[in-house]
Structure 1
Amino acid sequence: MTIVGALSVLVSGFYLWAIHLAAQTDPTLTTPPGWAYATWIAGTVTSAALLWWHQRHPILVFTGVFVLHLTGAVLIGNGGLGGVALPLWFSVYALATFARPLIAGILVAGAWAIATTVQLVLAATAGLSLSAPEVVVVAFGQGFFFLACYLIGVGMRAERQRARDAAERAQLIEARTRAEAAGAVSRERNRMARELHDLAAHQIMDVLLTTRAALLTDPNPVLEEVEQKTAEALGSIRSVVGALRDGDTDPSSSEPEPLTDAATRAIERVARERGLHVQERVTISHEPESAATATVVSVLTEALVNAATHAPGAPVAVTLHSDSTAVRLEVRNPMGLGEGQNPRLADSGYGLIGAAERAHILSGQLDTGIAENGDWTLTLTLPATRSEALR
């Protein structure tokens, strides 16, 4: 912004010098009073200063710069751009980059029409009579700069969005790598626990049983001490085995949780932690595979957290249906403040990109959007079995 301001002041000085030089060579020309020049330069500097807030308030900055720009054109009375248009063109670029595309397009088109009209009015006031082709040239001359800066801003907006998407994908890959590494460590720990139990605990149990059998026929104090120490050793080994089995994620070590229980537990937990009122309807006629169950529960949790974040206090309707062909999940809640502006699952870091990619891996589909009644809706559809996914 400092560069734009410095260039604007430099061009202002050159423009003033050009006007006075023209007035000296042509006695018929008149120059505006000194206060008009001072006001015009102050407005140019103010316009450059407003650009400091172009990312946070692009609409307000564009409006302020455009008004100051028109004021300068009227004060100087040159029927053109008021001498300096650098802050205006930068504000158009910032508007297209950081504001909503529809609002930015409407504002730029309106500013183009207003600027062209003001230029034509100033030309008529100065006594210039423009033909129809000249009016078209004036309009296109104004529109070229507006359109060029707007398109540059749109391109930059798309590039920023691509960068954000790439960052989210990188985070997702990193999280998946960490999860896979943690899963590998957990499986190795469980394998060690089972081996330890097989190799040590069983042998110590044999020693313990043998010692107790000997005690039945010969109550020897030495055998009693051996029996006591052996029992303590067996308890210690069982404690170590239990610690190694903490956080077990090996599918072979436990039965997968049914979808009904997993979904109900997730709903109750989020409703309790976030104060949600959830109306659930769960109909499971066919139990899906564990991968589909895990994905449904994960997306359901994210959707409930999103509803609590963007529409706190509003009721949430959850519909979950599973049959022999597919698993279908729908989460619906009234729109809250800012939800339509940033349709992203919030708080837990999973996000729409991760949810959609996980559904894609299972040959499923994730859809989000606004329903006809104005509710925000998330719909997940997954094949119930892998054989269905491969068809």
Structure 2
Amino acid sequence: MTHASPHTQTIRSDGPSLFRLAGLPYFLIAFIARLPFAMMVVGVLTVVVSARGSLSLGGLTSAAVGIGTACFGPLLGAAADRWGQRGVLLALALANGAMLVVFTVVVYGAAADGFVLLAAAGIGATAPQVAPLSRSRLVTIIRERMPDARQSRTLSGTMAYESAADETVFVFGPFLVGVLASALAPWAPLVGAAALTVLFVGAFALHPSGRHVSQERGADGKAPSAVSELFRPQLLIVVLGILGVGIFFGAMLTALTSFMADRGAPEQAGLLYGVMGVGSAILALGVAWLPPAFTLRARWLVFSGILLVGSLLLLFVDSPVTMMVALGIMGIGIGPTLVTQYSFGAARSPLGRSATVMTMLGSGVVVGQSLGAATTGEIAESIGTAPALLIPVIAAGVVFAAGLVNWFLSRTTPRAARVAA
């Protein structure tokens, strides 16, 4: 389970930066191309509540999108590893754009609720995995076209940027949905997402970097590593840890909404949540400047520990001000933890399975968000806000416990990338 190959073992001279290798257009296109996915879940919820008048159906429909993504995301990543990203992404751009339009037609029509849920699952199943595939594409460029001495720091900085980009998009996406729904119509966000998907996911697929085939694969394009390599404990613990992060995201936003609803201002939940999101994105970018002596396994424990401490404050919050303090502390921990987990995923990806691993991690976040939101929403509605606030605490505990297990597993990881340990 090593990425080292004759191509990557040789010592290479200093070369251009990743920014120059990929180019400015790549980063702009990749950023906008992931925006439709951030709009989908909230957009689906908005249009279902408006067209069908059912908040319950809206929640189920949003969950169906997440389930579709979770079930098919890793398969799409495996397809990209097997046949290359370009063809897979082009097909998904067209399919997902079509599914968004089909869903809009179905939800406004007379079709039964079951067909609405099926169409929503189709949106998730065809969702282009831009963020994971961007990570995979950049990791391949780093490993094959950059000097060995610069790879570790560049990889850390890349994971930091990608995580910050994800968080920025997931803050801006719902905001854009609100603007389009208010200014035009509830269906406008989904139609807009369809247009962005076709245009920018298509552009992402056609970017020259999409033709790049990893030297770690054979001439026939087959990944040399067996599928069983994806189920090693060192990789599964990362998936578990990132699942915990996803649960935390879904549970925290839902519990926060309930918290503010008790105070008569549920619409302000997003503003408070932004306190954590902004801090998380800033700290995620800062990971790139942490010293190499502060190893990845230590970062996971330290930052997930901060997340856990911040979440424990949820048991004592009694006002929006104290909630902001707790969210601010949790923001310090969550961003760097997520960056660290993606860095471990990149370091432990089996030969030729980088896209598969990244989509596994991305799907873990989506599944966790769906589980966290659904569970917390049910508890908040049936029991109350105080019990609902326990779910983010439990999720943070899972992330910390996974980091603790990873501490010991890292000591037995036989990779050249052991510096991560």
Structure showing the higher strand proportion among its residues: 1
Alignment TM-score, normalising by the size of structure 1 = 0.19
Structure showing the higher helix proportion among its residues: 2
